[in-house]
Amino acid sequence: MKEITVNKLAAGQKAEKFVRKYLSEAPLGFIYKAFRKKDIKVNGHWVNKEHILNEGDVVRIYVTDQQLEDFKKPRPVTKKEFPYTIAYEDEHVLIVDKPKGVLVYGDATGVRETLGNAVLDYLYFKEEYDPETASFTPSPAHRLDRNTSGLVAYGKTDAALKELTLLFKERTQLEKRYLALALGDIDKDGVINAPLWKDTNNGRVYIRPIEKGGKEAITKYKVVKRYGDYTLIEVELVTGRTHQIRVHLASIGHPLIGDEKYGDFASCREVKKLTGLDSQFLHAHKLMFKDVSGVLSPLKGKTITSPLPENLNKVIEQLTEKSAK
């Protein structure tokens, strides 16, 4: 068992995020299971993943000494050039273009070749990070699902990570846009305002009223182009809930192409057979910074863009050819 007192810097975080940072090399599946088994306690009481920590709280994590050693032991960092596209970089911030299939963090299978590790290798290569002497580890301010491609922002310094994390949380000085291909002919722009609730037992998200545990969730979308039975839309997340875009679009009868969790299963099979697409068509393509200051001031007024990847453009071409027949 490990006992940690929450300090001022860690206060305000969800219990899941706190534990994930502390056991930085633990698979997410292990952490989720620990919460389900009530192996995480705060001030002597079991809490769920969403519990907000306060300064002075005592967090107890019931793990063996060997697990503690393994899960706090970082993967060895090696000096390597960055294998993916860098969309933006300055002395404090690194924004990279994550391909589909690459994990931001490790998962329940213990995968360690992640986007985060590639970033550390790259910064070590540039001599901007040294695992032997660093008191801070460059980290992402947000995350994307394994099968969602696009922009991920990293704080290279502690100050930048704090400010970026706040930006993504509050969303008043940052707009995050996605490109998504939805099933059906969407005839006009719209807004979806439907509270969401996550079932931690099965990992699925459902629409549920706030008075029954749902959390506010708002999604805006604009029609970019129609392709017969499909519509390419630009989506803006006003809030940032898990699987928000996927659940919201499915709720209005226009699920994402290839989404086998929330989508139209017959359509998924047809699209997969025709194009090979085996996951949701979703790409984080734009970060729009507004009146940011401090270490983020070089980003003030900038829009960082990631074009739609070649594999997704190919999917559109193949579906367009099908619709034209």
What is the pLDDT, as a whole number, of residue 75?
A: 67
Task: Compute the distance between CA of residue 97 and CA of residue 151 in angstroms, rounded to an integer.
Answer: 5
What kind and span of H or E run contains 146? none
Task: Compute the distance between CA of residue 102 and CA of residue 253 in angstroms, rounded to an integer.
Answer: 29
State percent of the chain over pLDDT 90: 61
Could you give the domains of the chain?
2-71 (3.10.290.10), 85-170 (3.30.2350.10), 174-324 (3.30.2350.10)
Where is mean pLDDT largest: 89-93, 161-165, 201-205?
89-93
Average pLDDT over residues 63-83: 79
What is the pLDDT, as a whole number, of residue 108?
A: 46
What is the pLDDT, as a whole number, of residue 285?
A: 96
Residue 92 in contact with residue 159, Cβ under 8 Å?
Answer: yes
| Residue 185 is a catalytic residue | no
Tokens standing for residue 20: 């994930």
Average pLDDT over residues 289-295: 96
Q: Please, how many CA atoms are within 13 Å of residue 204, restricted to the half-sphere of its CB?
A: 9
Alpha helices by DSSP H, the chain: 15-22, 28-36, 65-71, 115-125, 158-170, 244-251, 265-275, 310-324
127 Rama sector, left if φ>0, alpha if ψ -120 to 50, beta otherwise: left
Exposure b/e, 231-257, CB count within 10 A at least 16 = b: bbbbbbbbeebbbbbbbbbbbeebbbb
Pairing of strands 218-227, 230-237: antiparallel
Tokens standing for residue 43: 């001030």
Where is mean pLDDT largest: 17-31, 38-52, 99-113, 123-137?
38-52
Amino acid at 78: T
Tokens standing for residue 17: 């995020």
Tens-place pLDDT, residues 228-271: 889 999 999 999 898 999 999 999 999 999 999 999 889 889 99
Tens-place pLDDT, residues 211-240: 999 999 999 999 999 988 899 999 999 998
What is the pLDDT, as a whole number, of residue 133?
A: 73
Residue 36 in contact with residue 200, Cβ under 8 Å?
Answer: yes
Average pLDDT over residues 145-168: 92
Tokens standing for residue 207: 């629409």
**pLDDT of 71 higher than 80:** no
What is the pLDDT, as a whole number, of residue 109?
A: 47
Catalytic residue among 145, 259, 264, 278: 145
**pLDDT of 9 higher than 70:** no
What is the pLDDT, as a whole number, of residue 234?
A: 98
Specify the 3-state DSSP secondary structure of 298.
helix
Name, in order, each residue with C-beta under 8 angstroms of 35's C-beta and a sequence gap of 6 or more: 15, 16, 48, 49, 200
**pLDDT of 299 higher than 50:** yes
Average pLDDT of the chain? 89
Nearest to 157 by CA among 131, 130, 136: 136
Where is mean pLDDT largest: 69-78, 105-114, 180-189?
180-189
Q: Please, how many CA atoms are within 13 Å of residue 17, restricted to the half-sphere of its CB?
A: 16
What is the pLDDT, as a whole number, of residue 64?
A: 81
Where is mean pLDDT largest: 10-14, 199-203, 232-236?
232-236
